[in-house]
Chain A
Amino acid sequence: MGITNIFSGYTGEELLSIFTMQGFSSLSLFSVFLLMALGLAIIFGQMKIINMAHGEFLTAGAYTTVIMSDMVVKYMPGLLPYYFIFAIIAAFIVAFALGYIVELSLVRFLYKRPLDTLLATWGVSMILQQGFRLVFGGREDSANLPDWLMGSWYPTETIAIPLNGLFLLGTSVVVTLLVYFLLFRSRWGLCVRATVLNREMSNAVGINSKRIDRLTFAFGCGIAGVAGAVFTTIGSVSPAAGSLYIVDTFIVVVFGGAGSLLGTIFSAFGIAQLQSIMEFFLTGVLAKVFVLLSVVGILMIRPQGLRSNKVRE
């Protein structure tokens, strides 16, 4: 079907509304990609750890939200409108703690062998998934959302902007800014970047690089937890939910260029735009294949990704 005849028979106003809403859909998809990718951009981009269990940290955050939501509904129904903010913080803490443990018990032995982290964290991901399945059961679960997250905002009569999409967008902006300030404007960020650039020198100037590694890894996982918490507003939680996101996430990070925060943002934006436009004009399945193929194609031409920092090996 041609593009022109899709739109025949509509008034200008209708088309404008649809395009506005479609523009917003791609923005919320961008937020999804960005939130997923931020944590990994830190872990993979900065530390070169291929964390295949990243999706499971996301799931952990999502389950934290679900548990909190269930508890609130059961014991303190009055708090339902406000709990979500706390759930996000709790999700961060849980995922952070989990990440800390994994780094301490496993990842720290593998910094010299990045490819092996892939296998080991795949094992972690299997164990976590099975753990979720035993504890929460295999069913799709979802959190009780406060009313202010349900429904749409109507700027005009024909335009409906989903509130959860707005929330998603807002959170991803806040988290991105937070990551930016922590990485580039804080002392900790300075230490992280120094360690990435030259571990021996950092050690020599008194940075405890082991501690920095641990915190960086845990922080990346914590952000995945936040993403998980926020995703409960648009989807469900199941033990394997994280594995749905993991490949997408890696593609966003690799495409953006490892080590570059800005690159990750560009790449999330580009992939999200491409995918939603394709979905709108073609079909969902073709969109996915087309996006994957073009990303792989571009990576072949530009293996370092969209942007890359020069890092001394």
Chain B
Amino acid sequence: MKLLESGVVSENRKHIISFIILAATLLLVFPLVFDIFRLNLVAKYLSLAFAAVGLVICWGHGGILSLGQGVFWGLGGYCLAAFLKLEAAVNIANEAGTDQIKALTTVGLPDFMDWNQITELPYIWYPFKSFPITLICVLIVPGIVAFIIGLAIFKRRVSGVYFAIITQALCWIMEILFVTRQGWTGGINGITDLRTCLGWDIRTQAAQYTLYFLTAGLLLAVILFSKKILSSKLGQLLVAIRDMEDRVRFSGYDVSNFKIFSFCLAAMISAVGGALFVLNVGFMSPKLVTIAPSIYMVIFCALGGRESLIGVVYGTLIVCFGRTYFSEQFPELWMFLMGGIFIVVTVACPKGLAGLFESHGAKALAFLKKFLKIENLASKDKKEVEA
């Protein structure tokens, strides 16, 4: 028994340790183990993990289940993709291509606008001519959309189920808008063929290494930042609202403001991920703004542990790796497995992997220590410990 107790580490130290393990995995282990092709895949997965981190804040701690996380993630992505596309459109004149293509291309106008007979850049694209403004847009556009929705919904005290369904409808509206306004958005093809960012070719191996570290680094930074917020008084209030909304309201707090804040924060964090996805993958597609990806993001979060900022990163990586590797050989079975994960996680372990680790990890750790001790002890002592 004594051994068990000594295995319990203080709450704070545990967080620091698990953060260091995550950082070491992302920044050291992965780059050493994987080649650039796989590493680029990991970068893609990590950019999705941003959305899961956002969900930890608004769902895990705030109790607001947003089924529209993909919309904000996608808006962030589209903003950056718009900038990169304009850059590509300006550079196209210098690139090799057949005369026919050149004759059909207007310099400075994205190719899909040419295909849709749009002759002048729509005003909505003007902000994306400037890199700093684009960066601001990546954060602000999803932020504003989230703010408007949050304001309208939370001020009227709509919550839970209704909110989830309204955000899902939002996904649908976004998808239809992005697909049908194809002269402005590239339609169902999305914004493709992105090559350079401020003249820096994002498709080279060196660039992909850099982008991987940028993605992983930013993700770690966002996790630290979120941790800071969640452990502040604000974070505690969020949890209080989640668990007993009325009591917080009666204590004199304006509950809706906190909800709006956490929803917007989650949206902006997701948007950063969307933008990084565009850099890593080189295109943006409306397929990523539909209902299904948003639900996948929720499952990343549920699997990793909806309250654990670090757990969700593992959740994302496991689902995505599973999808890539398992689906190569057994595409049919993969869907069953995925469905099974949804069910098992929600029914059996609502706190996800992080919850499992909490409840069994300490015991496992203690067992490990015990085991190691046994190795060192003489057989006489071993009996004692077992007793």
Contacts and interface: CB of A to CB of B under 8 A. Distances in A.
Indicate whether A and B are direct neighbours in the complex (CB within 8 Å).
Answer: yes
B156 A292 contact: no
A250 B156 contact: no
Contacts of B338: 123, 126
Interface stretch (B83-91, B291-299, B356-364): B291-299
A50 interface: yes
B45 to A, nearest CB: 20
A303 interface: yes
Contact of B298 (A48, A119, A129): A119
A118 B164 contact: yes
B339 A126 contact: yes
A292 B173 contact: yes
Given A110-B346, A126-B335, A130-B332, A285 B302 contact: no
B149 to A, nearest CB: 9
Contact of B162 (A127, A288, A303): A303
Contacts of A289: 173, 176-177, 180
B37 interface: no
Contact of B332 (A120, A134, A254): A134
Interface residues of B, number: 39
B164 A115 contact: yes
A250 B167 CA distance: 12
B166 interface: yes
Interface string A125-136: 111011101100
Interface string B312-337: 00000000000000000000100110
Interface in B248-266: none
Nearest to A288: B176
Contacts of A97: none
Contact of B343 (A106, A250, A296, A299): A106
A215 interface: no
A185 interface: no
B206 interface: no
Contacts of A118: 65, 67, 161, 164
Given A247-B169, A247-B291, A288-B176, A119 B346 contact: yes
B158 interface: yes
Contact of A110 (B65, B164, B302, B347): B347
A125 B343 CA distance: 10
A73 interface: no
Given A48-B161, A299-B162, A247 B168 contact: yes
Contact of A251 (B164, B169, B346): B169
A130 B331 CA distance: 10
Interface in A286-313: 286, 288-289, 292-293, 295-296, 299-301, 303
B122 interface: no
14 contacts: A44-B161, A50-B164, A118-B65, A122-B295, A123-B340, A123-B342, A124-B342, A124-B343, A126-B336, A127-B340, A247-B291, A296-B170, A303-B153, A303-B156
Given A118-B164, A251-B165, A288-B176, 14 more contacts: A44-B161, A118-B67, A120-B346, A123-B339, A126-B338, A127-B336, A133-B335, A247-B168, A247-B291, A289-B176, A289-B180, A296-B166, A300-B153, A303-B157
